[in-house]
Copies of this chain bind each other. A is one copy, B any other.
Amino acid sequence: MNINISKIAKMARVSTATVSRVINNPEKVSAKTRERVESVISKLGYVPNQQARSLRSQQTKMIAIIVPHSADYLFTYPYFSIFLRETSLELSRLGYHLILTTDEPHNSVIDTYRVFTDKRLVDGFVVLDLKNEDERVDFLKLRNIPFVAVGRNEKDKDISFVDTDNEGGAYLAGKHLARKGCSHVLFINGPADQSVSLWRERGFQKAAQEMNFTFLGRNGDFVEKSGFEITKKHLGQFDGIFAASDLMAIGALKALREEGVSLPVVGFDDIPISSDVSPSLTTIHQPIDEVGRRAAINLIRLISEDHTETTILPVELIVRESSEVKR
């Protein structure tokens, strides 16, 4: 009762092979029969069964994003769903679908990767939240499974990745704070094992040398609370703050407000809410939508053309109220 390729073949008075060709290699079929087959296809509204195609062609047309349990903060980050939206949209355009999953807390990080691979569920992975030493990358390289990383590290320079200019962004933030008169800055960075933190530290370091200011570096975990706590803890030891995420910057501002202190604060990301909080947030804008799109594009390019593509996207300083000083 389900309409399949042989029903189409029968109705168009051709073989199933020809129907298949019309769908996958139309140029190999004469115009006349092609038209006949196509008309039957559209009349019956036939759509090939993806499961059968996958089994036969050994391609699932599926891409997985496995959010590590350790990167749970991603789910509370407004930023993240925009990334998901763009990645999934671009994948659709390229004929792929996105499977979103998290790993089980008690399992090893790569267990989920292993299962997905062994079940032949997907053709490739998007690896988020790249670490300086990343066992997921090791695993996927070893098994020769296509993937694209979001972020980049020193160790794995030969892989497909998309990243933003984190070093340049941190540099811009540092320069801006220096111009606002800061000489001892509290730098609330992300977790130390994340590659992104390394780049930002580097860029901030560079600005500090050039602009002749010092800074106190601490590691947060990207969410409000850590920004709040780190700020409270080091109060009095700085005259400006650079936070590696807008949420941490918002936490920092809250701490400052509680203490009745007003100092320049710069965040990172430019999430939607940053322009609506009070004071509105000076921050480094990342083109997250473009990151999502490029992740999809680079991955599919790797899969279909075996081409390793690396993309580094520019960032931008957005000046708003939080870096205005009223001393």
Which of these binds chain B: A93-101, A135-143, A145-153, A207-215?
A93-101
Which of these binds chain B: A20-28, A195-203, A273-281?
A273-281
- A113 at the B interface (CB under 8 A): no
- A6 at the B interface (CB under 8 A): no
Secondary structure dominating the interface of A: helix
- Please tell me if the beta carbons of B81 and A76 are within 8 angstroms of each other in the complex: yes
- Please tell me if the beta carbons of A250 and B224 are within 8 angstroms of each other in the complex: no
* CB-CB contacts below 8 Å: A253-307 with B: 254, 257, 272-273, 276-278
Contacts of A118 on B, CB cut-off 8 Å? Answer: 45, 47
Query: A227 — nearest CB in chain B belongs to which residue?
Result: B276
Q: Tell me the smallest distance from the CB of A73 to a CB of chain B, in Å.
A: 10
- A13 at the B interface (CB under 8 A): no
- A51 at the B interface (CB under 8 A): yes
Query: Quick one: given A50-B121, A121-B50, are A100 and B102 in contact (CB under 8 Å)?
Result: no
Q: Tell me the smallest distance from the CB of A124 to a CB of chain B, in Å.
A: 15
Q: Tell me the smallest distance from the CB of A10 to a CB of chain B, in Å.
A: 19
- Please tell me if the beta carbons of A76 and B78 are within 8 angstroms of each other in the complex: yes
Q: How many residues of A contact B (CB 8 A)?
A: 51
One complex includes copies of this chain to the number of 2
- Please tell me if the beta carbons of B224 and A273 are within 8 angstroms of each other in the complex: yes
Query: Quick one: given A54-B51, A81-B76, A250-B273, are A102 and B119 in contact (CB under 8 Å)?
Result: no
CA distance A223 to B271 in the complex (A): 13
- Please tell me if the beta carbons of A88 and B101 are within 8 angstroms of each other in the complex: yes
Select which of B82, B121, B228 is within 8 A of A75 by beta carbon.
B82
CA distance A51 to B250 in the complex (A): 47
- A74 at the B interface (CB under 8 A): yes
- Please tell me if the beta carbons of A81 and B92 are within 8 angstroms of each other in the complex: no
- Please tell me if the beta carbons of B51 and A60 are within 8 angstroms of each other in the complex: yes
Query: A80 — nearest CB in chain B belongs to which residue?
Result: B81
Can you give 7 A-B contacts (C-beta < 8 A)? A75-B81, A81-B84, A89-B101, A97-B101, A98-B100, A99-B99, A250-B273
